[in-house]
Amino acid sequence: MKKTMTYMWFGGICILAGVLIFSACGEKSQVSKGPAEGEMKTNILLPVPEGAQALSLLGVPLFASEPNEAILEKYEAARAEYETRPENADALIWFGRWTAYTGDYREAIRIYTKGIQKFPDDARFYRHKGHRYISIREFDKAVQDFEKAASLIEGTEDQTEPDGMPNEQNIPVSSLHTNIWYHLGLAYYLKHDLENALRVYRLGIDSSHNDDMLVATTHWLYMTLRLLGREDEAQKSLDPIQKDMNVIENMAYHQLCLFYKGELSEDELTGDGFSSIMNDAVAYGLANYFFYSGDREKAGELYERILAGKVWASFGYIAAEADYHREFMREIQQPPRDHPLQRPHGGRF
């Protein structure tokens, strides 16, 4: 009963947190722009409170943190390159990517929309715009963009996608095709359209030509199959996963797949040395494991732990938010007025 009340308190404060966060945490990117011309006509973005990037699925305004100087310098360089070559597709894509890296996902979507108007047959613009629709919780629009991107790459040769923020070995591990399948599968997964997620992740597995993309896609494929109750197929999907794989950056997904196989213990999923994004990935994989194994209380505790963090654009965070909203919001009641979670604070969920 005590743990159930924790879910009630947490959910209640998430609903109330919109006012608290809006007043106490008004961080926003230095590069934020006003609405693009014609935006209201095309309805490319849902309205949000001033300065916010999105509303969480729990109704909380989400604000971007100030980008560091290194990111701002690269953003300014990308903008200057675009202004020099406004009709160059690569320059426009990198302008959008670095805008997104500053935390201004809404402006990045406007930039990619402009790119689609100029280069309607370039799948990359739909792929990147869809990614940022996931960031701001507009999953239907993300699906629409990724499905369009998928239609445009049909019958084409795959191409490696350069990294804006390279891994330690400076070796890109993803491609246009794998990124489209990976993110389209995720968009369906976040909508809880598991049959379509399964269909797309299988296409992603077929397109994965290195160990990094194989472990990342297998992780989401396995979870999708478990949520569909297809445990035997889920275990079979792990057959290609081995301990000695050449994984360069997706170590968290590799560890999770080994955990699902029973080759790593829960205690070994420490996340030591991982980024905040990868720590969210590990925590979400573990929370989901408890959920589909029937331990709702443990799953709920881990979802709450993720949602108490600040990296709200990570896929682990967004997935935890979607699951919590779908599975636990019906249990929410107003928390007591004297409960600590009811008091104003300086943090963000």
Structural domains present in the chain: 71-156 (1.25.40.10)
Residue 185's φ and ψ, nearest 5 degrees, are: -60, -40
Q: Would you state the structure tokens that stand for residue 305, as one six-digit string? A: 């732990």
Question: What is the mean predicted confidence (pLDDT) over 91-100?
Answer: 98
- Reported as a single tens digit per residue, the pLDDT across 156-198 is 999 999 988 877 788 989 999 999 999 999 999 999 999 999 9
Instruction: State residue 271's pLDDT score.
Output: 57
CA atoms of 326 and 224, how far apart (whole Å): 16
Q: Would you state the structure tokens that stand for residue 268, as one six-digit string? A: 């070994």
Half-sphere exposure of 283 (CA within 13 A, CB side): 27
CA atoms of 10 and 341, how far apart (whole Å): 7
Instruction: State residue 166's pLDDT score.
Output: 77
Best CA proximity match to 182, nearest among 157, 209, 166, 200: 200
Helix (H) or strand (E) holding 69: helix 69-84
Helix (H) or strand (E) holding 61: strand 61-62
Cβ–Cβ under 8 Å, residues 14 and 61: no
For residues 267 and 92, the model is more confident at: 92
Instruction: State residue 43's pLDDT score.
Output: 77
Alpha carbon 188 to chain centroid distance? Answer: 12
Cross-strand bridge partners of residue 61? 55
Q: Would you state the structure tokens that stand for residue 82, as one six-digit string? A: 């675009």
Residue 135 CB burial class (10 angstroms; 0-12, 13-18, ≥19): buried
Query: Which range (109-113, 336-340, 342-346) has the least confidence?
Result: 342-346
Best CA proximity match to 46, nearest among 138, 178, 162, 155: 138
pTM: 0.85
Half-sphere exposure of 95 (CA within 13 A, CB side): 22
Helix (H) or strand (E) holding 291: helix 276-292
Residue 46's contacts (CB-CB under 8 Å, 6 or more residues apart) are 55, 138
Instruction: State residue 267's pLDDT score.
Output: 85
- Reported as a single tens digit per residue, the pLDDT across 71-87 is 999 999 999 999 999 99
| Res 344 pLDDT > 70 | no
Extract long-range pairs of 260-268: CB within 8 Å, 24+ residues apart: 260/222, 260/234, 260/235, 260/289, 261/235
- Reported as a single tens digit per residue, the pLDDT across 12-67 is 444 334 433 333 333 444 444 443 444 434 578 999 999 999 999 999 999 999 99
Q: Would you state the structure tokens that stand for residue 177, as one six-digit string? A: 């095709």
Residue 47 CB burial class (10 angstroms; 0-12, 13-18, ≥19): exposed
